[in-house]
Structure 1
Amino acid sequence: MTLLDARARTGAVAGLNPLSKLAASALIALPLILTLDAVSAGVALALECLLLPFAGLGWREFWVRTWPVWVAAPLTAVTIALYGEASGRVYVEWLLLRVSDGSLELALATLLRVLAIALPSVVLFVTVDPTDLADGLAQILRLPARFVLGALAGLRMVGLFLDDWRALELARRARGVADRGRIRRFAGMAFALLVLSIRRGSKLATAMEARGFGAPGRRTWARESHFGAGDIALVAVGAAISVVAVLAAVLTGAWNFILGPS
């Protein structure tokens, strides 16, 4: 996603500060990590689905971005159903496989839990521009500028690494050395990419230092990062989802604190 794409989004959440999106997703995920029950995860997922249209993603883009989550969640649930802790009535038992009421309940809870944690994280971070995130980390959280800018430069280089890999593969095919020995070919290309990465990193470090990125003193920024009322509202929504999900689980007796005594 380019910077232009990030700026062109019209959703109410798309234009907010990346730090508020990070905080909201963390607040939603925290209670769901501490418990494994279907009620809290189901309530959180239902509330999230009501807010997804405001994220600034079209439905086609939503499914394209989140399809790995929709694939991973059922696979995880199937694994829990087959190999999870057995309790209650046992339906299938064969060697290590044992499907019971307890394993099916854990599978449902795991399915909803994965969706409730992963979906808001993916949807919120799709609309995050790396430069805006770096501005927020340095200006609002006051993280060291050298660390933030180095991380931003490294993130921007990911696309170049992919292009280099494709170029290396095409060059080897043109020379006729990519027709056999996949493992050997992969190792050779990985080493060549490592050499290219080190050289590019050295050049980038020299160029950044020449432009004053490593100079002492207070930095100035091309764009000021703001944390306004909309950002506070998004964080409050994330906290509200967590509180409602926890209360629902506690009131129904479904709360299952996974770090508690066995």
Structure 2
Amino acid sequence: MKITHGGWLAEANPLSKLSAVFLLTLSLALSVDWVSGGIVLLCLLAVFPLSGVSWATLFRRIWPVIIALLLAAWGTALAAADSGRVLMDWGYLSISEGSLATGVAIGVRGLAIALPAAILVLTTDPSDLATALAQKWRLSPRFVMGTLAAMRLVGVMAEEWQTLSMARRARGVGASGSLFSRVKANLGQAMALLIQSVRRATRLAVTMEARGFGGKARTWARESSFSPRDLLILCYGVAVSALAIAVSVAWGAWNVVWAR
């Protein structure tokens, strides 16, 4: 997947963005509260225009996550222990101020974790990431290149799934019938895609080995380097994480995960 977005973040080193995402995720993983998640979320939305990605593109990428988080927040609000004033009571199920706050915290924190990951994916070219991992973090080039090939094949598999669906639909397979027959047809289609993927992976592995991807000495077409832009990204990640924790503690909402 070649990145076509030409935003400010797209020109940064992938490792600086990856490190900033790790810092933000670490601060959110320490506590279950809506304040720290809300701070991180607001700070990310403030710098999102720097990515060069449209809001419509972002929504198309993360709408399944948004739906899942809404359901998770709702389920948590129903299942969490009641505390404070009861807002809704349906007998066995009820929502109180405390359970609602817990549900909101889960939803906000989940979105604050998903958003930086989505921005990282949308503004990072896989080839640049692989080059940076091998050059700067000294990871095995063989492992990095294999991972890069797998990442690029994910998009190919999605396209092939659509092609197989259209071909089977043209033959009248899986387009109608009972739920059991449709599930059976989809399982058959998944098996065909799996076999095709294994064959492609085998051919790709042989090809990469023949072209020297398993050798010890390696040269790179592009040099991965850091710039003041990357330092700003790292500083922003540290500052947002520290701000989220400080505001949450000052607000009295800091709720350490292992103390629950």
User: Hey, what does 1:255 align to over in structure 2?
Assistant: 254
- Consecutive unaligned residues of structure 1, counting only runs of 5 or more, are none
- CA drift at 1:178: 3.9
Partner-residue secondary structure (3-state), 1:245: helix
Distance 2:166 2:55 in 1: 35
Q: 1:114 to 1:173 in 2, by over 3 A?
A: closer
RMSD over equivalenced CA pairs, Å: 1.9
User: Cα distance 1:13–1:163, how it changes in 2: closer, same or farther (>3 A)?
Assistant: closer
How far off is 1:174 after superposition? 4.0
1:196/1:102 Cα in 2 relative to 1: closer, same or farther (>3 Å)? same
Separation in structure 2 between the aligned mates of residue 81 and residue 106 of structure 1, nearest angstrom: 6
Q: Deviations over 1:195-223 (max 9, x none)?
A: 211211111111111111112x2211111
- Corresponding position of 2:202: 202
The offset of 1:38, in angstroms, is 2.1
Deviation at 1:28, TM superposition (A): 0.8
| CA displacement 1:66-124 (0-9 Å, x = unmatched) | 33344333332222222212112223333441211111111222232122222222123
Which residue is equivalent to 1:193? Answer: 193
Aligned to 2:42: 46
Gap regions ≥5 residues in structure 2: none
CA distance in 1, matches of 2:172, 2:69: 42
What is the TM-score when the length of structure 2 is the normalising length?
A: 0.90
- CA gap 1:153/1:88 in 2 versus in 1, 3 angstroms: same
Contact 1:77 1:108 in 2 (8 A): yes
Q: Are 2:88 and 1:89 equivalent residues in the alignment?
A: no
SS in 2 for 1:36: coil
In 1, Cα distance between equivalents of 2:60 and 2:156: 23
Residue of structure 2 equivalent to 1:214: 214
Which stretch of the first structure deviates more once superposed, 64-73 or 100-109?
64-73
Out of 172-181 and 77-86, give the one that drifted further. 172-181
Label 1:111 to 1:160 Cα distance change in 2 as closer, same or farther (>3 A).
closer
Say if 2:240 is the partner of 1:241.
yes
8 Å CA contact 2:2, 2:126 repeated in 1: no
Aligned residue number for residue 160 of structure 2: 164
Of residues 119, 122, 126, the one that matches 1:126 is 122
8 Å CA contact 2:78–2:95 kept in 1: the answer is yes
Q: Which of 8, 19, 23 is the matching residue for 2:15?
A: 19
Aligned partners of 1:176 and 1:42: how far apart in 2?
49
The aligned length equals: 256
Give the Å deviation of 1:21: 1.1
